[in-house]
Structure 1
Amino acid sequence: MVPFVKHQALLSDGTLGVLLLTLGLGAMLAMPLSGSAAARFGCRAVIVASSTSAALLLPSLVFLPTPAWLFVGLPLLGFAVGMLDVTMNIQAVMVQRRSIRPMMSGFHAFFSIGGFAGAGGASFLLQAGLSHATATLTAAGLLLLLLVTTARHMLAEGGEGDSQGFALPRGPVLLIGIACLIVFLTEGAMLDWGALFLNLVHSAAPASTGFGYAAFASAMTLGRLLGDRIVRILGARVIILAGGICAALGVTLAMLPLPWPLPLAGFLLIGLGCANIVPVLFTAAGNQSVMPANQALAAVTTVGYAGVLVGPAVIGFIAQASSLRTAFACIALALIMVAFIGPVVGAKEQSRKPA
């Protein structure tokens, strides 16, 4: 959709970059407020409102592709998606507590699957000859249909916390947020810099560089699909420790001067290592006792999402000052830090029972 809107609105690359930034800023603005919104109005109500808003806003960007509306509609879409992101994780923590077994990795696996399905489905519809407007209307319609059929099964309560607004992360929540930031930064680096890294460092053909992110994303999805069972067997602390080390080794392997396509093995290890760290950390944020769960999850998501926004730029600055290989080495060191945050934050071995 981005190339279509760019063409229709006659946007320059610079203007498009600013517009995409407003999308992220809208999400960042919503995330700190999501916990208090869920506490005040109930989790289900916020999910329904934010999902409906997103379903209505998305097609409008195609039907009204003017710079004026895009500067309004994109931040609003980001706000709706950011609110939905945090509230869904609050809902997931509540469901997991009631089940008394790990479920968060499976929830995040479906997030990954949704990314594949969305991109692949849109491409299929466009290849079949449908217009961009029809494709976005189809996506919005499917979202609304899914919402109608599932909303009544969602938990209506708002989780733990109050409606007093955003609270700064503190204690173990701050450490959890920093760990999430590093993992999200790693994911952003794989998406935005992985192809260029393979091209510059390993002289991979441009047509083949996309296999790096494909390997990373596929391994992450598979790891999350199996994650809940693995968490039950190994425990949350081992998942964070082993995951951080595995991802760091993957980055190191990708940096070695290996013949093509062996560097792709590094991307696979990064995906497997990162797969279950964030789900386990979100569970830890919901289970700690220093902050109310709603506020903790909102704070952790906000800090973590900052890694997605600023991470690619930070990688670029380091690459400019030194080299892209050095930038990836910094990612490996940061992932080692994540590996040892698990025991520090006291990640619980299983979900807390409901009171």
Structure 2
Amino acid sequence: MIHRYMNDQLATRIVFFITGLITATWAVIVPFAKVNTGIDDAVLGFLLLSLGIGAIIAMPLAGPLSSRYGCRRLIIASFIIMLISAPFLSFISHVILLAVVLLIFGVGVGMTDCAMNIQAILVEKKAGKALMSGFHGMYSVGGIVGAGLMTGMLALGINVIPSTFIILMLITFLFISSFSHLLPYANPVEGPAFAIPKGTVLILGIICFVVFLVEGTVLDWSAVYLVDAKKIDDALGGLGFTVFAVAMTIGRLTGDFIINRFGAFHVVILGTMMALVGFYFVITGHALSVLLIGYFLIGGGCANIVPVMFNQIGRQQSMPQMVAVPAVTTLGYIGVLAGPAIVGFIAHLSSLPSAFVMIATLLLVVLCLTFVLRKRINMS
């Protein structure tokens, strides 16, 4: 029934959705992986780097591989890597073996991330209208659904291993329903397989780095910040990220309409300013309601900045698209990994609020670089 109404746009949305679904499934598995291996928080932190390293290794390869084999084949291959490795994450008890499997899983995640964005850029160009925010919005929806389904099954007493397999079967069904409508081609190979970002691509990458750094900071530190710095009850610490994630999802699902109505430039400028106001509330506020408004503004403000930057990759002339997408994606992913570490370092030297001030200040870089982009590529 699904197949009857399938097209390349819907297929792309499904790929983003199930990528968010499988990523959220791993997020729920993490505490079980810690118990299974008997490691402490410090070792877990280093272990989680295996996933990031795998992703960063794979991302530069996605461009040339998609050019040679097409988006469809690369996305199929990367999903197979994730689907084969994911079940082991729920029951492996040896820390070294878990690190290896996480590295493999990270390769699948990183390759999928690049390949689906290459697919999204081509589909958006073919449609002749803004679609990128909606695609990224489906990733957020997948994350919420994945976390909800896993948490719900565990709450019902279903063991983590069968819960993981149920999610993977759902992912497999959705992927089989859509993969034939993924693009069998990509842009031709131009330039080297990997290149350091330069020109406009470097600007796009820096903006994505900052925004992903903000996202990583909120993901890993929002609960600690509310509990330790703002003295909010432990049980309510997770509300900050929840509100942030909901705002980001709403922002992305409505983003295509907003971008088509007001233009990409104004969306990025106003979104960045909204996020700055949100940080002001988070840093200076004390009442939980004020703090949550701040997190909502940060999530809503940042929601469409990254999708707009990926849209602009198709407009720039500094680097071939097949090289530019992995370059920008890699910089952004480094931001996700670096953000929590930077915040922890600054908090150790000074305080957690001081670290949040530094992260907020980096958004001023986004404002300045967006004006530069407008001149370079006639950003609408």
- Tell whether the structures are fold-level matches, with TM greater than 0.5: yes
Corresponding letter in the other structure for 2:242: A
2:68/2:188 contact within 8 Å kept: no
For structure 1, the 5+ residue unaligned runs are 351-355
Aligned with 1:17 (options 45, 65, 68): 45
Correspondences of 1:89-168 after superposition (within 5 Å): 89-162=117-190, 164-168=192-196
String of CA shifts for 1:288-330, please: whole Å, max 9, x gaps: 1111112111100001110111111111111222221111111
Q: Answer yes or no: is the 8 Å Cα contact 1:43–1:159 preserved in 2.
A: no
| Counterpart mapping for 1:190-229 below 5 A | 190-229=218-257
The C-alpha deviation readout for 1:260-288, integer Å capped at 9, x for no partner, is: 32111111110111000000001112221
The normalised TM-score by structure 2 is 0.89
User: Which range moved further: 300-309 or 4-13?
Assistant: 4-13
Rounded to whole Å, the distance in 2 between the matches of 1:169 and 1:312 is 24
Task: Number of aligned residue pairs: give it.
Answer: 350
Corresponding residue number in structure 1 for 2:338? 310
Residue 163 of structure 1: CA displacement?
A: 7.7
Counterpart-to-counterpart distance in 2, 1:94 and 1:216: 29
Distance in structure 2 (CA, Å) of the matches to 1:256 and 1:292: 44
Inter-partner Cα distance in structure 2 for 1:343 and 1:259: 35
Between stretches 197-206 and 59-68, larger displacement belongs to 59-68
Supply the AA of the counterpart residue of 2:98.
L
Q: Report the more deviating stretch, 293-302 or 319-328.
A: 319-328
Distance 1:185 1:131 in 2: 34
Provide Cα deviations, 1:10-56, integer angstroms capped at 9, x if missing partner.
Answer: 22333322221111111111111111111111111000000111011
- Which of 278, 286, 289 does residue 250 from structure 1 map onto? 278
Residue in 1 that maps onto 2:295: 267
Conservation of the 8 A alpha-carbon contact between 1:161 and 1:293: no
Question: Secondary structure in 2 aligned to 1:261?
Answer: helix
Deviation at 1:160, TM superposition (A): 4.8
Unaligned runs of 5+ in 2: 1-28
**For residue 78 of structure 2, what is the aligned residue in structure 1?**
50
Corresponding residue for 1:62?
90
Name the amino acid aligned to 1:194. Answer: S
Q: Which residue of 2 aligns with 1:292?
A: 320
Segment drifting more, 296-305 vs 133-142: 133-142
The 8 Å contact of residues 249 and 332 in structure 1, kept in 2 or not, is answered as no
TM-score scaled to structure 1, two decimals? 0.95
After superposition, what is the alpha-carbon deviation per residue over 1:153-202, rounded to whole angstroms, capped at 9, x for unaligned? 11111235448411110001101101101000100111111112222332
Deviation at 1:93, TM superposition (A): 0.3
Q: Could you list the per-position Cα deviations for residues 50-79 of structure 1 after superposition, in whole angstroms to 9, with x for gaps in the alignment?
A: 011101110022344322321211100001
Classify 1:126/1:245 alpha carbon distance in 2 versus 1 (closer, same or farther; 3 Å).
same
Q: Report sequence identity in percent.
A: 41
